[in-house]
Amino acid sequence: MVHNSVDEHISQLSALLNQSDISPHAFVNSLQKLTALMRSPDTRSDLKHEHWNTIEILAKEGRQILAKTEISEIELDFITELLRFLRNSCGGLCENLNFVLNNNELIGFPKEVLKCFILKEQQKEITVLKIDIQLFGNFLLGSEHSKPLVWSLFFGENIFGCLLQHKDTTIREYALMVLFNSLSNENVESIFSTAEGYKILHSVTDTLLSSPIDWGVLFIEQLLDREDFIDRCYSSLPLKNRLLVLDIVEERLKNIQDEHSFSIPGALIVSLKNLFLRNITQICNMKDSDIEPAETVSILSILCSASICDAYVSILQSSKDLLQTTVETLKCIHLLGKEGMNVFSSVQELKHQVDPQLSKVVACHPLYGFKKNLIRLVGNVCCGCKDNQDLVRRLEGIPLIMDCCKFDAKNPYLTQWCILAIRNLLENNQENQAVVAGISATGEVADVKLLNEMGIQIHSENGKIQLKSWPTS
């Protein structure tokens, strides 16, 4: 029977402990058989209190081995198998897990393994480290009470810092698993307020730049749940790491309508808006300098995504400074783009869109999609908001947007976003409709075809264009 098998193997180990001059290989072989039994939840539950007395003696023996200057090959095998047994036996079974956590000898063994092997580089030694980290992962998944113990060890003794810079990708992945599962409100504050926390955030984002590990993304999302993340953590990261964080923010915003497990605080969107307003004034200087616009371009895209989310649209619509600055920036780059060939100039040749090689070149432009998103944001925050519609009119933004309504390979779907923005600006706003109606019949600002695409029927009367909506079918 299975129960007898557990008893039998524990008894064999006990017998070996009572013998003198026993071969270490015998311990390893017996442990391997016992470890194999722990793969099944049924056999894990067969471990009784008295069985752990034998395992405790083995753990004490393991700690004595770790204290040696050099560890032999067979001793390394012994440590590996004992860790495997602990990892397997604690998988999903609280009774076993709690016994290990509450026994100084048993919990002391994996803690010392961690410190002993964290800088080792041989493959068998790295395997030991992997199993050990998995064991701590099982502690966290099985017991909420293990968080303080694990955090004190991994964070307090800079274990996270070392593991997250390990050359082995799997080690870094396991470390991220432990990091995420050990987080609590108090531990998140440690990330925000200490030098060690900053190093961890830096290392996590570095890892994600090279390896998109889910545990790392979940960790960043947990930090983004804090309203003060942008003000306290974000700015201290290098540019490439900040761009990674912004990508995570935008990805979550795109899915926010479908998922309720993660949401971004409104205050964080406000912080991003304020950062955008501080940075965007530099964009118009790109013509004569080497300003890096990637961060501003990315934040603008985030604000566009947020502007169609019910949770954030009121925040952005009430930000008159955002709307005014966006229109003024659009006007600036649009006029600069007409002053010969420069970074703001349109790419109007169709070949840049249909030719794959040319398309790749255009897509790498530092301001790719920037003008389109400025117009997109204006249109979104003006939708159903007369105050914003009026502000854009006073800023002379309506003829500006109509003049932007031309093909530009650097700004995909620019014409469509212009059309949508004009529709949102004219909706239920007679003053704005009068601006378009006042266009001279010669079509200096926009042609008839463009207005028709906007759903506006026009005809000339006394030298002025009169507007009517197309009849609905």
Let me know whether 104 and 195 are in one domain: no
Structure confidence by residue, pLDDT tens digits, 385-433: 999 999 999 999 999 999 998 888 889 999 999 999 999 999 999 999 8
Domain that residue 236 falls in:
170-251
Q: Does the residue 92 lie in any domain? A: yes
Model pLDDT, residue 341 = 80
Let me know whether 295 and 436 are in one domain: yes
Q: Using 50, 70 and 90 to split pLDDT, how confident is the model at 3? A: very low
Q: Does the residue 156 lie in any domain? A: no
Contact 90, 138 (CB under 8 A): yes
Model pLDDT, residue 4 = 56
Q: Does the residue 467 lie in any domain? A: no
Let me know whether 443 and 304 are in one domain: yes
Contact 79, 128 (CB under 8 A): yes
Let me know whether 443 and 310 are in one domain: yes
Residues forming beta bridges with residue 467, ordered by sequence position: 458
Let me know whether 117 and 175 are in one domain: no
Model pLDDT, residue 452 = 59
Let me know whether 406 and 448 are in one domain: yes
Average pLDDT of the segment spanning 209-226:
94
Higher pLDDT, 29 or 374: 374
Give yes or no for residue 29 having a pLDDT over 60. yes
Model pLDDT, residue 1 = 38
Q: Does the residue 464 lie in any domain? A: no
Report how far apart, in Å, the C-alpha atoms of 17 and of each of 23, 27, 245 are: 11, 9, 54
Contact 389, 429 (CB under 8 A): yes
The pTM of this model reads: 0.86
What would the 3-class secondary structure string for the chain be? Answer: CHHHHHHHHHHHHHHHHCCCCCCHHHHHHHHHHHHHHCCCHHHHCCCCHHHHHHHHHHHHHHHHHHCCCCCCHHHHHHHHHHHHHHHHHCCCCHHHHHHHHCCHHHHHHHHHHHHHHCCCCCHHHHHHHHHHHHHHHHHHHHCHHHHHHHHHHHCCCCHHHHHCCCCCHHHHHHHHHHHHHCCCHHHHHHHHHCHHHHHHHHHHHHHHHHCCCHHHHHHHHHHHCCCCHHHHCHHHCCHHHHHHHHHHHHHHHHHCCCCCCCCCCHHHHHHHHHHHHHHHCCHHHHHHCCCCCHHHHHHHHHHHHHCCCHHHHHHHHCCHHHHHHHHHHHHHHHHHHCCCCCCCCCCCCCHHHHCHHHHHHHHCCCCCCHHHHHHHHHHHHHCCCHHHHHHHHHCCHHHHHHHCCCCCCCCCCHHHHHHHHHHHHHCCCHHHHHHHHCCECCCCCCCHHHHHHCCEEEEEECCEEEEEECCCC
Model pLDDT, residue 450 = 55
Higher pLDDT, 119 or 9: 119
Q: At what angle do helices 310-317 and 370-382 cross, to 10 degrees?
A: 90
Q: Which residues contact 114 (CB under 8 A, 6 or more apart)?
A: 129, 132, 133, 136, 153, 159
Q: Does the residue 113 lie in any domain? A: yes
Structure confidence by residue, pLDDT tens digits, 85-102: 999 999 888 888 888 999
Model pLDDT, residue 473 = 39
Let me know whether 313 and 351 are in one domain: yes
454 vs 444: CA distance, rounded Å: 17
Let me know whether 2 and 85 are in one domain: yes
Let me know whether 241 and 297 are in one domain: no
Domain end: 251, 279, 311, which one? 251
Q: Does the residue 369 lie in any domain? A: yes
194 vs 192: CA distance, rounded Å: 6
Model pLDDT, residue 274 = 96
The total domain count for the chain is 3
Q: Does the residue 470 lie in any domain? A: no
Supply 385's token pair.
Answer: 């908001």
Longest dimension (CA), the chain: 115
C-alpha closest to that of 305 among 359, 362, 264, 353: 264
Q: Report the mean per-residue pLDDT for the chain.
A: 87
59 vs 74: CA distance, rounded Å: 16
User: How many C-beta atoms surround the C-beta of residue 303 within 10 A?
Assistant: 25
User: How many C-beta atoms surround the C-beta of residue 83 within 10 A?
Assistant: 25
Let me know whether 313 and 222 are in one domain: no
Model pLDDT, residue 261 = 47
Half-sphere exposure of residue 327: CA atoms within 13 angstroms, side-chain side = 27
303 vs 325: CA distance, rounded Å: 13
**Which of 185-189, 259-263, 354-358 shows the highest mean pLDDT?**
185-189
Supply 471's token pair.
Answer: 């009849």
Give yes or no for residue 342 having a pLDDT over 90. no
